[in-house]
Chain A
């Protein structure tokens, strides 16, 4: 499929506003300039790049009129006590009225028209897949949590995808801005309920925390065989912002996260946690890049991968501390638990430090379940099989339990247990 041709087709739709064309053209130009990912590039060296151009066709949202039974989905989520927002192929299906009274939810086009975002929000296109996403700019959302607004209930932002074509490529976008001292808990939840065959999701989220804003942000994806997602999470933290981010993939396909965080202010704190569970021939591919520009910022990065069967995990953790970013305190830890002799992990820290008064640590562990822990369980009457199961879940739950909201913890644990019934199944 000629992706550029598709992007140009969107541009030539009758009545298409110039502003939209401008944004798409930014994407098209960058896409044409940047080379398509190859294994020669460091960030793609271990990734199955050949799968990217393997016959995927941009999903035509206008032709996908399939009606999903969203009422039963909403019903199944109602007990959680979350604000559930449902999006289907880029169309808003459901959003609680109470939430709309607290925050602003607009389409990206509305946000552009109101001047809340502009073409600069679509620039910095260094990644060909981000350029591809921008060149397909059509639908997407802008969520604004105004200054000092505290949203107590977690927001479960569910994006559903379905297509009638074979091998659809979904392209979606979400921009979230937390105003000064605003506070929220947000779960970005991608689902393709009826899609059992090949799909490719190429999604981008931009998250911007203004001064003093606080957020818990969870990005959640579950993939079957032959499914792939390439998702970017582009975060900007202003002074005194406080972010706890959990990016998670449960994958039997290929799930790639590019998490870029830029500390532009000072005294901001960020916990960047990642969970990857890969099964069968699944791949969890996590690329993180933290850029410290301001003074006295702090980050704690922990990424945990549990690997089964012939699955793989890829972790590339870049930390760039620029000359003015004195007093930066940054730690990075990547832990992998290999439950199969055929599982493989490729892990690499990349620290670039240009300031002299900073603290930066990194570490990686690769191992199996601890035999002493298993014996300890057995000596308390718990069978070896059950001990295995508890310890595997505990490995992943360690990070889930750090989310300061028990209802979110409960929900995510249930998702993991639904996806994966334990090591012995």
Chain B
């Protein structure tokens, strides 16, 4: 589904990704771990198409209509329409735009692109309320401005709610576990697990093994110095928890 080949990217004049390779198939969950400043969050932003990052070489091939398409040629909104979803480490607050209208706009933009009919407001409201149960969000969050006045946990739940609504083919969860207490972590992880399927893939970016107790990955990668330097199964995460990253450097 996704194949990243020799990806180099920089922000301002600083090179962050230095020849990264990664292959993800449908139905798989890949965890990406690594020390601070190794380029984990940058990878998620490059995949989503953040304008501050400049890709200097390499390819990000993504299956679109059974064809490998380089995502680098697509605008961020086009990537989202093709099924790329980024759950933010620090979700953005948008005063003046209600959660409902934001999600309604987003959902229908994606529906239209995929040739599905637009959903009507009332129908979408019921759909939204149903999906909110997945992350145990109260209905009053529907009409509040996007993430404004939300606690850290509520913001992260709101991100997973968006993922549930948009059903992406590739979800990139950037430190979704950061700032969450045990209960919130469990709720968010259960939400993600319910969204796992053989059709989609998940890229989990995290610092901590504990998230992987809840969302079990098929592969664990270590990203350091802008490259993937080690790949293994879940036991690699346990080893990292025990020994840190130094033994790999």
B218 within 8 A of A: no
A401 and chain B: residue at smallest CB distance: B96
Query: B166 touches which one: A375, A377, A381, A383 (CB < 8 A)?
Result: A381
Interface centre among B79, B81, B95, by most chain A C-beta atoms within 10 angstroms, is B95
Question: Using Cβ atoms and an 8 Å threshold, which residues of chain B touch A372?
Answer: 92
Q: Which parts of B60-82 form the interface with A (CB within 8 Å)?
A: 75-77, 79-81
Q: Are A382 and B109 closer than 8 Å at their CB atoms?
A: yes
A355 within 8 A of B: no
Q: Are B81 and A378 closer than 8 Å at their CB atoms?
A: no
Q: Are B92 and A373 closer than 8 Å at their CB atoms?
A: yes
Q: Are B75 and A394 closer than 8 Å at their CB atoms?
A: no
Q: Which parts of A320-371 form the interface with B (CB within 8 Å)?
A: 371
B206 within 8 A of A: no
Q: Which parts of B71-101 form the interface with A (CB within 8 Å)?
A: 75-77, 79-81, 85-86, 88, 91-92, 94-97, 101
Give the B interface residue count (CB, 8 A). Answer: 28
For the complex, give the distance between the alpha carbons of A381 and B84 in Å. 9
Q: Are A381 and B88 closer than 8 Å at their CB atoms?
A: no
Nearest Cβ distance between residue B89 and chain A, in whole angstroms? 12
Hey, what's the 0/1 contact readout for A390-409 against B, CB within 8 Å counting as 1?
Answer: 11011111100100000000
Q: Are B50 and A384 closer than 8 Å at their CB atoms?
A: no
Q: Are B96 and A378 closer than 8 Å at their CB atoms?
A: no
Q: Which parts of B102-123 form the interface with A (CB within 8 Å)?
A: 102, 105-106, 109-110, 113
Q: Answer whether A395 and B96 are a contact pair too, CB < 8 Å, given A378-B76, A381-B166.
A: yes
Query: A375 touches which one: B51, B81, B91, B97 (CB < 8 A)?
Result: B51
Nearest Cβ distance between residue A249 and chain B, in whole angstroms? 19
Nearest Cβ distance between residue B57 and chain A, in whole angstroms? 23
B48 within 8 A of A: yes
Q: Are B96 and A382 closer than 8 Å at their CB atoms?
A: no
Nearest Cβ distance between residue A97 and chain B, in whole angstroms? 36
Nearest Cβ distance between residue A189 and chain B, in whole angstroms? 23
Question: Using Cβ atoms and an 8 Å threshold, which residues of chain A touch B76?
Answer: 375, 378-379
Q: Are B106 and A380 closer than 8 Å at their CB atoms?
A: yes
Q: Answer whether A382 and B94 are a contact pair too, CB < 8 Å, given A371-B51, A376-B88.
A: no
Nearest Cβ distance between residue B147 and chain A, in whole angstroms? 9
Nearest Cβ distance between residue A399 and chain B, in whole angstroms? 9
For the complex, give the distance between the alpha carbons of A55 and B200 in Å. 71
Hey, what's the 0/1 contact readout for B203-216 against A, CB within 8 Å counting as 1?
Answer: 00000000000000
Hey, what's the 0/1 contact readout for A197-209 against B, CB within 8 Å counting as 1?
Answer: 0000000000000
Q: Are A376 and B166 closer than 8 Å at their CB atoms?
A: no
A139 within 8 A of B: no
Nearest Cβ distance between residue B213 and chain A, in whole angstroms? 28
Question: Using Cβ atoms and an 8 Å threshold, which residues of chain A touch B80?
Answer: 378-381
Query: B77 touches which one: A383, A391, A394, A401 (CB < 8 A)?
Result: A383
Nearest Cβ distance between residue A372 and chain B, in whole angstroms? 5
A153 within 8 A of B: no
Query: A376 touches which one: B51, B92, B109 (CB < 8 A)?
Result: B92
Q: Are B110 and A381 closer than 8 Å at their CB atoms?
A: yes
Question: Using Cβ atoms and an 8 Å threshold, which residues of chain A touch B109?
Answer: 380-383, 386
For the complex, give the distance between the alpha carbons of A119 and B216 in Å. 81
Question: Using Cβ atoms and an 8 Å threshold, which residues of chain A touch B48?
Answer: 375, 379
B49 within 8 A of A: yes
Q: Which residues of chain B have a CB within 8 Å of any CB of chain A?
A: 48-51, 75-77, 79-81, 85-86, 88, 91-92, 94-97, 101-102, 105-106, 109-110, 113, 162, 166
Q: Which residues of chain A have a CB within 8 Å of any CB of chain B?
A: 371-373, 375-384, 386, 390-391, 393-398, 401
